[in-house]
Amino acid sequence: MNAPLISPSILSADFACLGEEVRAIDAAGCDWIHIDVMDGHYVPNLTIGPGVVKALRPHTDKPFDVHLMVSPVDNWLESFADAGADIITVHPEAGPHIHRTVQAIRALGKKAGVSLNPATPAKMLDYLIEEIDLVLVMSVNPGFGGQSFISSQLRKIEAIRKMIDKTGRDIHLEVDGGVDPATARQCVDAGADVLVAGSATFRGGPDRYAANIAALKGLA
């Protein structure tokens, strides 16, 4: 089995020195950088805007995996694309026309992701799967780092892996929330190929990042 790609969520980084933190996880062997954008409306937390994404862009060449927990979202797509996002992931629950939103992301030349909350069924993807580059399964309710993994999502990951394989397209299956080395293994066994990890990457400080990432990949 291939090691999963690791996309550390910088929500758990030290916000007083985000540039350094991004350079440190890059050097520690992460694959992507997961940026959680929260608007205090769709989710009960307020985090990062396009200005911060733009400021971080010169600090790494690794793909920016931007997770928008914003409603309404359509007016923000261009700003995040311009700021340096490579993948833009949105929630169908956060707007009335997810298909249109996905088309808009692709028209900006970016990869489009769709994120499903814990209570949202895989079926939501039936008429979207052919149009997207990534599915993000939320294994916690969005809003905060450091929550516990919701195990029922493993069944959803398995179901989505089957849907993806049926398309024959190269679509990433990413899991976000409560991922640690133990749940990482379960996610990969269920069919995930990208894992977001905030607490499990940043715990212990910069000296631990490489070991933490290796453990998430199942290499340590």
Q: What residues are annotated to the active site?
A: 36, 176
Which positions make up the binding site for substrate? 9, 67, 143-146, 176-178, 198-199
Element containing residue 24 per DSSP (H, E) = helix 18-27
3-class SS of residue 167: helix
Binding residue (CB under 6 A) for ligand DX5 from 31, 174, 176, 193: 176
Q: Tell me which of ligand DX5, Zn ion, none is bound by residue 179, counting a contact when its beta carbon lies within the kind-specific cut-off of 5 to 8 angstroms.
A: ligand DX5
Write the CA distances from 148 to 152, 191, 208, integer angstroms: 12, 20, 21
Q: Does 36 bind ligand DX5 (CB under 6 A)?
A: yes
Binding residue (CB under 6 A) for ligand DX5 from 112, 145, 194, 213: 145
The binding track of 59-98 with respect to Zn ion, each residue x by CB under 5 A or -, is: --------x-------------------------------
Cβ 1 to ligand DX5, closest distance in Å? 22
Residues 4, 187 contacting (CB under 8 angstroms)? yes
**Whole-number Å distance between alpha carbons of 199 and 215:** 13
Q: Does 11 bind ligand DX5 (CB under 6 A)?
A: yes
Residues 10, 203 contacting (CB under 8 angstroms)? no
Give 176 or 180: the residue with its C-beta nearer to Zn ion: 176
Q: Does 215 bind ligand DX5 (CB under 6 A)?
A: no
**Whole-number Å distance between alpha carbons of 125 and 127:** 6
Q: Quick one: which segment of 54-62, 156-164, 172-180, 211-219 binds ligand DX5 (CB under 6 A)?
A: 172-180
Assigned token pair, 211 = 């070991």
| Cis peptide preceding 118, ω within 30 of 0 | no
Q: Does 176 bind Zn ion (CB under 5 A)?
A: yes
Q: Tell me which of Zn ion, ligand DX5, none is bound by residue 71, counting a contact when its beta carbon lies within the kind-specific cut-off of 5 to 8 angstroms.
A: none
Write the CA distances from 75 to 12, 15, 95, 206, 215, integer angstroms: 27, 26, 11, 36, 38
| Binding interface with ligand DX5 (CB under 6 A) | 9, 11-12, 34, 36, 67, 140, 142-143, 145-147, 176-179, 196-200
